[in-house]
Amino acid sequence: MADNNVKKWYVVRAVSGQENKVKAYIETEIARLGMGDYVSQVLVPTEKVVTVKEGKKMSKDKVYFPGYVMIEANLVGEIPHIIKSITSVIGFLGEIKGGEPVPLRLSEVNRMLGKVDELAVNTDTRAIPFSLGETIKVIDGPFNGFNGTVEKINDEKRKLEVMVKIFGRKTPLELSFMQVEKV
């Protein structure tokens, strides 16, 4: 017997700053309607950000993609409509007006969930593809398109410290090997 309940990952656009509320609303609504079989996970991708305030280290979760909530679901029947009608939900990412929501590709899901970094750490024992002082180009993240110089290499974490000129000032960025390429 074929399992017709195939779930895929979708991105729900939410009002920025309301991501966690939207997640809670979706979960509550799905549970209330007894549709948990069709919606298996609702995630707000976050990263831990450690700040030092008055000498104290404080760690807080920062939303990684403001305005986006990830949802693993089988969008059958009324489900897309139910999700779209939730407060602070703008709609699904990638949908043409009135069209079907477009599921994410697995590679995108892995990237958003940070699995790629873990896998890269575990499986990538090759030599470091970068050398100190080398000029690289940022190909992913908010500084996409900027060029920079490799200042430090952390082989264990597979991260680079790159000095990038932003508005004429040199700024150090920590980037993973996946986020840069040789110029």
Instruction: Give the pLDDT score at 89.
Output: 94
Kindly list the averaged pLDDT for each block of 10 residues, start to end, along the chain of length 183. 72 92 96 93 83 78 84 92 93 74 82 58 57 89 86 84 84 85 86
Domains of the chain, by residue range, sit at: 8-113, 127-182
The pTM assigned to this predicted structure is 0.57
CATH fold group of domain 127-182: SH3 type barrels. (2.30.30)
The C-alpha atoms of residue 179 and residue 149 are separated, in whole angstroms, by 14
CB 130 within 8 A of CB 177: yes
CB 163 within 8 A of CB 170: yes
CATH fold group of domain 8-113: Alpha-Beta Plaits (3.30.70)
- In 3D space, the residue among 77, 44, 80 whose CA is nearest the CA of residue 62 turns out to be 44
Instruction: Give the pLDDT score at 179.
Output: 86
Which residues have a Cβ under 8 Å from the Cβ of 30 and sit 6 or more positions away?
A: 36, 38, 39, 82
